[in-house]
Amino acid sequence: MKKTKLGVILMLYASIACASLAIVYAFTKDSIERQSEIQLQTSLKEIFPQASTFELVEDLTSPEPNIKFEAVYEVKSDAVPLGLAIKASGPSYGGNATLLVGIDLHRSIAGVRIVALNDTPGLGMNASNPTYYVDKVKKVTFLGQFEGNILLIPSR
């Protein structure tokens, strides 16, 4: 009888906790999405500071099955194309990692920003740390090492 009573109390606590979480999630969902959108727009402007518009491109998908393009933007400055920005996610050590990659018209990487990464604190997470340098002499960050690199033609 006592065990049943404890079980019922536990069930009540769990139900209240679940309901509270669901309510908080429902209230904060819009705000979180809005913040993510602001963060994305800020990152896009950081990669392409001279851009005025970011037009969504629908017909570009990832050639790799385990890497997904969540959004692709054609970056323009007063109707003049500047390049493409791709929000891509793929598997990493601690789950999916999402990056924003900017490629300019000269086939080089204009910039890379981490949108989401849940890896090992202190090591894997250093990829997003702006004070962690892969080259301490030149002070190059993990993401900074990709910037300006020219991409080769995919088929080669």
Partner 1 sequence: MKKDVEAITAATITSKSLAKIIKTAGDAAIAYMDQKVMMASMEVEKPNGETSIVAPPTASTGFPIGSSEGKSKEKIPPQAGGK
Residues lying near partner 1 in the complex (CB under 8 A): 46-47, 49, 57, 60-64, 67, 69, 72, 80-84, 86, 88-94, 97, 99, 101, 103-112, 114, 117, 119-120, 122-124, 126-127, 130-131, 139-142, 144, 146-148, 150-151, 153-154
Q: What is the CA radius of gyration of the chain?
A: 21
**Shortest Cβ 139–partner 1 spacing (Å):** 5
Distances (CA, A) of 84 to 23, 126, 133, 144: 38, 26, 27, 18
| Token pair for 81 | 């194309």
Residue 69, beta-bridge partner list: 88
Nearer to partner 1, 5 or 65 (CB): 65
Q: How far is the CB of 115 from partner 1 (least distance, A)?
A: 11
Quick one: 31 or 131, whose CB is closer to partner 1? 131
Angle at 106 between CA 102 and CA 111, to 5 degrees: 25
